């Protein structure tokens, strides 16, 4: 029996996850209102334009990471409920391709979420961005969400099917994504010019985000299969 090409598996898994989201609308009906509520609550809690402008970057990425847990748990709950991952393993499908497909789907959903959150920051927190800051911001979003997509998929596979995965996933994932939270926040603050930060200061943090994404992209591709097998 010939093995299915890796690119076809990646495309099939990616399409499947996005179709499930399009039909269930979990991101639209649950994640977006949840993330938006976080942004609104902080706007009322802090109630100071200067403070809000300084912390806007951190609030965007806190909301993104909290939303990450919901999206990852939903994605793997569907796969484990009908033993889809077990079926793929038994069929001899390359699980690294499954990892990449799910990670890309998760990344695309996070990018869509961040577009809305950044728009909310402009509206609620009155932040501003220059042309150079916009390039930095877009690059930061792509690199950070890619890293979160890889690590979220890896740890989602690790906790899939385990008892209490709803609480186990955040406990395992929060310490790991701390570098993304810090680096993405600093890069976003530089893009917004928060606290007088220069745009050029953000590119070093984007470099850290790129390294994080590369490490978990490669590591996840190698480790996802063994984790699912166990």
Residue 18 lies in a domain: yes
* Cα separation, 209 vs 179, whole angstroms: 8
In this prediction, residue 1 has a pLDDT band, given cuts at 50, 70 and 90, of: very low
What residues contact residue 195 under an 8 Å CB cut-off, 6+ apart? 54, 189
Number of domains the chain is built from: 1
Q: What is the DSSP letter of 91?
A: T
Please give the residue that has the higher pLDDT: either 160 or 69.
69
Residue 95 lies in a domain: yes
Q: Nearest to residue 57, comparing CAs of 229, 215, 222, 205?
A: 205
What residues contact residue 116 under an 8 Å CB cut-off, 6+ apart? 32, 35, 36
Reply yes or no on whether the pLDDT at 113 is more than 90. Answer: yes
Q: Domain of 159?
A: 6-228
Strand, helix or coil at 230?
Answer: coil
In this prediction, residue 29 has a pLDDT band, given cuts at 50, 70 and 90, of: confident
Name the phi and psi angles at 216, rounded to 5: -80, -25
* Cα separation, 175 vs 151, whole angstroms: 11
Whether residue 143 contacts residue 204, with contact meaning beta carbons closer than 8 Å, is answered with no
Q: What is the DSSP letter of 197?
A: -
Residue 206 lies in a domain: yes
Q: Nearest to residue 138, comparing CAs of 51, 202, 71, 54?
A: 202
Residue 79 lies in a domain: yes
C-alpha distances in Å from residue 179, one per residue of 14, 27, 86, 97, 202 = 26, 24, 32, 26, 14
pLDDT at 2: 45
pLDDT above 70: percentage of residues in the chain: 88
In this prediction, residue 178 has a pLDDT band, given cuts at 50, 70 and 90, of: very high
What residues contact residue 10 under an 8 Å CB cut-off, 6+ apart? 97, 100, 101, 104
Strand, helix or coil at 122?
Answer: helix
pLDDT tens, position by position, 86-111: 666 666 678 888 899 999 999 999 99
pTM greater than the 0.75 cutoff: yes
Report, as an integer, the average pLDDT of 189-203: 90
Whether residue 121 contacts residue 39, with contact meaning beta carbons closer than 8 Å, is answered with yes
Please give the residue that has the higher pLDDT: either 124 or 112.
112
- Percent helix / strand / coil, the chain, rounded to 5: 90, 0, 10
Residue 1 lies in a domain: no
pLDDT tens, position by position, 40-93: 888 888 777 678 888 889 999 999 998 998 888 888 877 776 666 666 666 667
Task: Count Cβ neighbours within 10 Å for each residue of 139-176 and write b for 16 or more, e otherwise.
Answer: bbbbbbbbbbbbbbbbbbbbbbbeeebeeebbeebeeb
């Amino acid at each position: 029996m010939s093995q299915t090409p890796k690119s076809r598996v990646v495309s099939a898994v990616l399409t499947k996850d996005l179709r499930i989201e399009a039909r269930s609308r979990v991101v639209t009906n649950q994640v977006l209102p949840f993330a938006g509520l976080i942004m609104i609550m902080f706007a009322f809690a802090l109630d100071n334009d200067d403070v809000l402008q300084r912390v806007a970057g951190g609030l965007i990425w806190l909301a993104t990471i909290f939303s990450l847990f919901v999206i990852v748990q939903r994605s793997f709950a569907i796969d484990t409920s009908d033993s889809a991952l077990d079926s793929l393993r038994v069929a001899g499908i390359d699980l690294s391709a499954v990892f990449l497909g799910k990670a890309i789907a998760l990344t695309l959903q996070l990018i869509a979420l961040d577009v809305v959150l950044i728009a909310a920051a402009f509206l609620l927190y009155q932040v501003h961005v220059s042309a150079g800051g916009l390039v930095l911001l877009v690059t930061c979003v792509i690199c950070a969400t890619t890293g979160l997509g890889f690590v979220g998929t890896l740890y989602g596979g690790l906790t899939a099917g385990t008892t209490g995965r709803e609480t186990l996933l955040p406990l395992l994932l929060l310490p790991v994504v701390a570098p993304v939270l810090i680096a993405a926040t600093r890069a976003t603050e530089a893009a917004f010019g928060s606290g007088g930060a220069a745009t050029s200061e953000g590119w070093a943090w984007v470099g850290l985000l790129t390294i994080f994404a590369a490490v978990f992209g490669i590591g996840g591709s190698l480790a996802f299969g063994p984790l699912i097998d166990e």
